[in-house]
Amino acid sequence: MPITTCVFDAYGTLFDVAAAAREAAKEPAFAAIADTWPQLAEHWRLKQLQYSWLRAVTGAHDDFWQVTQEGLDWSLEKLGVADDPALRERLLALYWELQAFAEVPAMLRALKDGGLNTAILSNGSPAMLDGAVQSAGISDLLDVSLSVESVGVFKPHASVYDLVGQHYGCAKGEVLFVSSNGW
């Protein structure tokens, strides 16, 4: 079966999850993370994933924005900067509008020019995905952003991946799923 549809995870695959911490660290008001922003970004992403997996296993679903905030709070505490509400607010604002990796627009354009369907399948809430897609300027290169919110459970639950076939009416063998994650 030929591939007809390329589906991408959003966070860490299309969007640079370290960008929020990296950009905040450049601002004089947040010099406290100038040297530790890589660790902050790493802890934040790891906790975000761990919290989503825990919720998927226990059935205690919250939207990804809540999980993102909880992951950040844990990470700020770990690095000893949890007492700076302005830093937290700035990091969350930057996360809402994450930068796409530099190669993303050209890659998506090449897929579209090749006649392939392109989509996001993400743990992100629809509003989060819209914010990231719009700020990255790639909305015209994607057919749709599919969110786990429509099934109420995070990846890697099988019902999430079924959303692609439901949307496109294609067989699993026609879909290429691209993710920076190991599942």
Outline where DSSP puts E strands in 83-178: 117-122, 144-147, 175-178
Query: With left for phi above 0 and alpha for psi between -120 and 50, is residue 98 left, alpha or beta?
Result: beta
- 182 band by pLDDT with thresholds 50, 70 and 90: confident
% of the chain beyond a pLDDT of 70: 99
Q: List the one residue out of 112, 174, 110 whose CA is nearest residue 143.
A: 112
pLDDT score for 156: 87
Q: What is the pLDDT of residues 17-59, one digit of tens each?
A: 999 999 999 999 999 999 999 999 999 999 999 999 999 999 9
Query: Which of 96, 23, 123 has the alpha carbon at shortest distance from 33?
Result: 23
- Global pTM? 0.91
- Which domains occur in the chain, in start order? 5-14+99-178 (3.40.50.1000), 19-96 (1.10.150.240)
In three-state secondary structure terms, 121 is strand
For residue 36, give every residue at least 6 positions away whose Cβ sits within 8 Å of its Cβ, in sequence order, or none: 79
Of residues 9, 62, 84, 140, which has the active-site annotation?
9
- C-alpha–C-alpha distance, residues 121 and 134, integer Å: 16
Specify whether the CB–CB gap between 92 and 69 falls below 8 A: yes
**pLDDT at residue number 181:** 85
Query: pLDDT class for 183, splitting at 50, 70, 90?
Result: low
**How much is the mean pLDDT over the chain?**
95
Determine whether 9 is an active site residue: yes
